[in-house]
Every structure is written in structure tokens, then in C-alpha cells.
Amino acid sequence: MNIHEYYYNSDNKKLYIEFSTEEDKDLFYRVLELDFNDVEYYSPTIIHEGDMDEIDEDFLVEIMDQYFLDNDLPEQQNL
């Protein structure tokens, strides 16, 4: 996975991730929005909301890998 952009909105407690997969090449991207409860559930480690400002791309990939074991990829969007 290639993470293009991500941010956590503490007001609505949502993590927004723009990414692409190897299959997407450089033609498409996808958007995933996760509630903090989803982040907690799919996180490989215990995380608190205060930690969300310090997350990095490696952490996001771990969450997404776990999330996509149970869920389908979001639809492709043109770049």
C-alpha cells in the first residue's frame, strides 16, 4: 500500500486515509474513513485517542491490513 495522505479529526473522532494499492498503479486512489473505535479494534497495540497525533504510515498499514481481513477495499477513485 502507498499512503498518500492521512489525518485524524479529533472533533468527529475519524481517521481519514487516502491510499493506493499495487494493483491501482498510479491511476487510482482509495479513501478509508475509520472511527476511533475501529482504530482501537484493528490496532495491533493498545492505542489511546491522545496518541493519534503521533501515528505514522507503518502504523496505518498495520491497521489497514487488519481491517481488510474483515472488509473489502473501498472503491477506486480517479487521480
Q: What is the pTM of this model?
A: 0.88
Q: What is the DSSP string of 9-73?
A: ETTTTEEEEEEE-GGGTTTEEEEEEEEHHHHHHH-SS---GGGGGG--HHHHHHHHHHHHHHSPP
The answer, yes or no, to whether residue 1 has pLDDT greater than 90, is no
Q: For 18-69, what is each residue's pLDDT tens digit?
A: 999 888 877 899 999 999 999 999 998 999 999 999 999 999 999 999 999 9
pLDDT of residue 49: 94
